[in-house]
Amino acid sequence: MDHLACSSKTEQRWQCPDSSWVKINIDGSVSKNNTKVAIGGVVRNSDGEWLMGFNMVTGWMRYSRLKHERLLKG
């Protein structure tokens, strides 16, 4: 099976949340051989100031199990 590559370019700026709210942005990626998953995110206030960030690298099976547990818990 051939590996598919997808590339897109979207020009989009970050939009701040309403006053007294925070915004959480999360993104992730999977290694080419599907063995590792990297997840990270940032929390910013309504002025766009960084409040905290987080990241995690884990195996694909653990990520998949965590995702399914979250779905079941709602």
How confident is the prediction along the chain (74 residues), in pLDDT tens digits per residue?
A: 455 555 666 777 888 999 999 999 988 888 888 788 888 999 999 999 999 999 988 886 666 666 656 656 65
> Does residue 50 lie in a domain region?
yes
> Does residue 42 lie in a domain region?
yes
> Does residue 27 lie in a domain region?
yes
- Would residue 61 be called left, alpha or beta, if left means φ above 0 and alpha means ψ between -120 and 50 degrees? alpha
Q: 38, 54 in Cβ contact below 8 A?
A: no
> Does residue 49 lie in a domain region?
yes
Residue 54 structural domain: 22-73
Work out the end-to-end distance of the chain between its first and last CA atoms, rounded to an integer number of angstroms: 35
> Does residue 56 lie in a domain region?
yes
- In 1-74, which residue ranges form alpha helices assigned H by DSSP? 60-73
> Does residue 58 lie in a domain region?
yes
- State the pTM of this model: 0.59
Beta strands in the chain, from DSSP E residues, in sequence order: 22-30, 36-45, 50-59
Q: How many domains does the chain have?
A: 1
> Does residue 3 lie in a domain region?
no
> Does residue 65 lie in a domain region?
yes
